[in-house]
Amino acid sequence: MKTILSLFILFSINLYSNYSAMAQDDIRSKKLKEQHVVPKVVKLAEEWKKELSPMQCEVTRNKGTERPFTGQYFDFYEKGNYHCANCGALLFSSESKFKSGCGWPSFNDVVNLKSINIVTDKSLGMVRTEITCANCEAHLGHVFEDGPPPSGLRYCINSVSLKFVPKQEQTGKP
């Protein structure tokens, strides 16, 4: 009897876990359908070099990374939005930013799922999930499945790939 009860409990937990995961996927797919497509920005490497700092160019165009705990936005929590430093596309909101302790700015969601590309990154002998700007293909960072609810994701983003716009500037209020 205990074996049957244990099996029933395990089955129930597994069923709930699968249902929860399907519900998360359903929420993400609905959110994706509701969002608009971001137009592409295409420039030559020489054009990017003229517009970006050497560090921005290294990180966003050459898929580099800034050292942990050194970026401008790593320990920064003002209200506003984070845009792509290369093209200005809206990427993240301060509402989804959290302190992860990883050394880079971390977010648990993007403002618009169509504003990013998700790419398999097999560099450095690892398999990771790279995030690039869908608008200009700038390397932003990586996403991991160890973030807080509700998404369970941690978008680990280089500060130099972001431009912060404070809440006041967005609303036009002083």
Catalytic entry in 57, 133, 136, 156: 156
* DSSP H helices in 35-166: 45-51, 54-56
* Residue 151 DSSP label: T
156 is catalytic: yes
* Structure-token pair, residue 158: 């280089």
CB 121 within 8 A of CB 130: yes
User: Comparing C-alpha atoms, which of 131, 74, 128 is closest to residue 98?
Assistant: 74
* Structure-token pair, residue 105: 């700015």
d(CA 63, CA 115): 18
Catalytic residues: 156
